[in-house]
Structure 1
Amino acid sequence: MSLAACTRVDPGHVGVKVNRYGSSAGVESKALGVGTYQTMFGVDIYEYPIYTNNYAWTRGGRDSDGNELPNNEMAFQDKNGLIVTGDVAVAYRVDPIKAPVLFQKYRTDMDGIVAGPLRNAVRSAIVDTASNMTVEEIYGPKKTVLINRSLLAVRRYFEPFGLHVEQLYWAGPVRIPENILERINARAQNEQAAIAAQANVATIEAQARAEVAKAEGQAKAQTVRAQAQAEAMKIQAQALEANPKLVQYEWVRKWDGRMPSTVFCSTANPCVQGGQ
């Protein structure tokens, strides 16, 4: 009866060999590459992915077959104690050189690490970071800040053990109490209405300024034309006064050959012309 078996390390993975019995019991310090290995009784090989893997902790529901799924959403509180939940996803890979160190730390396969230590570390980082924020900030402008700061904390924790946490991100909308959501939406609508009203006022004011400028321009143009006309008449009067013969010339040039019926000899005694 053979006590040996074969274990395969698939592409994209490294293997960690663990001897459970005998003088060589323990974790081998060098990871195994891709291939098939003979494993004697008491020897296990654990596979760890060295390519990027993604996993999401989400709210429970039902799969396509109607089976109930576990609820793995992240629950945490804001600075005022309000409960917030959300679906969080992680992207990770294992350093092929440090894979034995990772096993020595947690003594389980990758699925066990994701379900246990990794999830706990992610939740702890989110809880710590969110405790300094309001629910409005978490739901709105600082949602990305929350997840990015949590990523840095998780990354620092696992890096010495050879687990590279590449990315941490929201896998869906953050969920907050319904009454808080209604309040936030109402505030947003009021802010949008105020912005629209301000824009409308600005438009009306701009149009009014344009009309005023137009009226002022027209008034100035009329003033300039009147001043020019008055100046021209003044110059013409001065020219006529300086040259009386020009007046006579203009009178003769425009005469139609008929004598006037009334001749004013003076302002007091008009002379009436009899014949024409």
Structure 2
Amino acid sequence: MSLTFLLLMLIALAVIIGIFTRKLDLLTYSEPDKNGKRQPNGMKWQPATFIFVAIVAALLQPMNYDVISVGHKGLLINLLGDKRGVSYTEEVSGVVFYNKYTQEIQEIPLDQRHIEYPESIIVAKGGFPCPIKPSFNYSVKESTAADMFTNLRSTYTKGGLEAIQEGWLNNAIIGAINDVANRHSIDYLFNNRETYEAEILSEVNKRIGKWFLVSQLKTNIQPPKAIRQSIEDKATADADAIKAEAQARVAQADAQRKIQLAKGDSASIVIRAQADAKAISLKQQEITSTYVEYQRVLKWDGVMPTTVLGSGSNTLYQMK
């Protein structure tokens, strides 16, 4: 709300109150008729002229005011400076009154902002193109906000910080990423990404650290398509090698298990054979001619065989 608008509202309010309280007499009246009524027939120029002059003065008066928002840096710019305000920038806060014809107020946001730029291409050492999609947080340094506005005024006045981050800041960030990438081979970029991004942040601070604080910078760099394919092929080959090695270990373990089982079976066969041989040996030691004849006697049923034998033959063994 401008100071001019407030003055016009006050003039209108004063006129309304004056009319209702009849303390502001703007009209002239005719002589009373036979009924004693008087009709308005004109306007008194003196109060009307005063109101008109007050309105014109409110419209043309040069002063205005602004309230500097919390979290912003207020700058009072003198438009009549020898460098169009460059030499006459004053830091202000709170409620500020200024001449709207010769001065202006700029509010620089100091809050932290997150930026994600669209995909672009950088070139690593050796000419390898790599797609990146950088993201980072940044904020304006309060101590150098006036100097930033002085140097980037033409861009800032077109669209504020949004215009700066899409133009000047974009070029600075992408330029720093590309310049650092040109120093290293493509293998280095992907095998040492943390170190690479730390180098970028250092380079960025050299370029814009005077006016901006940058943090959490990520390049989100991606390898070229051909290298991506080779990486995927290598990963597949490594996985296959690991799988084959695991299968070989399983097969070796299975073979060892079978060998142990075979050894166990052989040992049990040998033990059984030795036991059987021992048993046979013991039995052979026990069997004598007398023992055999004894077993025949035990099994004889008392009936003589009907076999025809020669005279003097006897089938029974003569036991003595």
In which range does the TM-score fall when normalised by the shorter chain?
Answer: 0.5 to 0.7
Map 1:116-265 to 2 at 5 A. Answer: 116-134=167-185, 141=191, 146-159=196-209, 161-170=210-219, 174=222, 181=225, 183-230=226-273, 232=275, 257-258=298-299
Deviation of the 1:258 alpha carbon = 0.7
Deviation of the 1:92 alpha carbon = 0.9
In 2, the alpha carbon distance for the partners of 1:198 and 1:131 equals: 35
In 1, the alpha carbon distance for the partners of 2:98 and 2:135 equals: 35
Deviation of the 1:45 alpha carbon = 2.4
Asked whether the 8 Å contact 2:131–2:221 carries over to 1, the reply is no
In 2, the alpha carbon distance for the partners of 1:255 and 1:129 equals: 111
Asked whether the 8 Å contact 1:136–1:184 carries over to 2, the reply is no
- Please identify which structure carries the higher helix content: 2
Deviation of the 1:259 alpha carbon = 5.1
In 2, the alpha carbon distance for the partners of 1:256 and 1:197 equals: 80
Partner of 2:74: 15
The alignment of Structure 1 onto Structure 2 pairs a total of residues equal to: 237
Q: Which runs of 5+ in 2 are unaligned?
A: 1-59, 302-312
Alignment deviations for residues 91-120 of structure 1 (CA, whole Å, 9 cap, x no partner): 211233442343345445334542444223
Deviation of the 1:26 alpha carbon = 1.8
Partner of 2:315: 274
In 2, the alpha carbon distance for the partners of 1:273 and 1:137 equals: 112
Rate the CA distance shift 1:52–1:251 in 2: closer, same or farther, 3 A.
farther
Q: TM-score, normalised by structure 1?
A: 0.64
Deviation of the 1:128 alpha carbon = 1.2
Quick check: 1:26 aligned with 2:88? Answer: yes
**1:90 aligned residue (122, 130, 136):** 136
Q: Secondary structure at the match of 2:92?
A: coil
Residue 5 of structure 1 aligns with an amino acid whose one-letter code is N
In 1, the alpha carbon distance for the partners of 2:217 and 2:276 equals: 86
In 1, the alpha carbon distance for the partners of 2:182 and 2:221 equals: 19
In 2, the alpha carbon distance for the partners of 1:80 and 1:101 equals: 39
Per mean C-alpha deviation after superposition, the further-off stretch among 203-212 and 82-91 is 82-91
Rate the CA distance shift 1:187–1:273 in 2: closer, same or farther, 3 A.
farther
Alignment deviations for residues 217-243 of structure 1 (CA, whole Å, 9 cap, x no partner): 1122123323433554576678779x9
Q: Secondary structure at the match of 2:203?
A: helix
Q: Which runs of 5+ in 1 are unaligned?
A: 59-72, 261-271
Q: Larger RCO: Structure 1 or Structure 2 (Cα < 8 Å, ≥ 6 residues apart)? A: 1
Identity %: 17
Deviation of the 1:209 alpha carbon = 0.8
Residue 199 of structure 2 aligns with an amino acid whose one-letter code is R
In 1, the alpha carbon distance for the partners of 2:89 and 2:296 equals: 133
In 2, the alpha carbon distance for the partners of 1:202 and 1:145 equals: 35
Partner of 2:109: 49
Rate the CA distance shift 1:185–1:84 in 2: closer, same or farther, 3 A.
closer
Deviation of the 1:79 alpha carbon = 1.5
Q: TM-score, normalised by structure 2?
A: 0.57
Asked whether the 8 Å contact 1:126–1:146 carries over to 2, the reply is no
